[in-house]
Amino acid sequence: MANILTQVVGEKEILVFHPSRVNELDIPPGASSSRIPDIFSSQLRCHGYHAILKPGDAIYIPPIWPHATKPLTPNVGVNVFWRSFDNEVYDRAKDVYGNKDLAAYSEGRKSLERIVKGFKNVGADAKAFYIKRLASELESLST
């Protein structure tokens, strides 16, 4: 979801990444957090937008823009989330923190599980051939 983070008390560091960086951030399928232990110390830091939020500062975080925050002092921030896509694309379950994946992605992951099972007894070369074809078809749909 789209999000405005307003810093009320204390200071917080924030990194925001363009959605095109998602594969570099090591976010497991279906997860909402990176497995990178300290992204603020990683080389990816230079590929994100960086800021220090102080009391009274606010930042707009667009939907699907991965981000991380790190407290620099004891602090309080307030997030306001809102839906920026049509209602039918969201998962129907509650999304208190605004980080659930869109329903189409969740359904796509279920379809991938079925595809993987379908190739279970197929040789490695044939499996690679068809997986590459499917990946190419998916890529062509995104343009």
Q: What is the pLDDT of residues 69-116, one digit of tens each?
A: 999 999 999 999 888 888 788 877 777 666 778 888 888 989 999 998
Q: Which two tokens stand for residue 3?
A: 């999000």
Torsion, CA 90, CA 93, CA 96, CA 98, rounded to 10: -20
| pTM score | 0.76
70: Cβ–Cβ under 8 A, 6 or more apart, which residues? 12, 13, 14, 40
Q: Which domains does the chain have, with CATH numbers?
A: 2-101 (2.60.120.650), 104-141 (no CATH)
CB 84 within 8 A of CB 4: no
Q: Which two tokens stand for residue 15?
A: 């990194």
Torsion, CA 88, CA 93, CA 94, CA 97, rounded to 10: -80
Q: SS3 of 88, please?
A: helix
Q: What is the pLDDT of residues 9-66, one digit of tens each?
A: 999 999 999 999 998 999 988 888 899 999 999 999 999 999 999 999 999 999 999 9
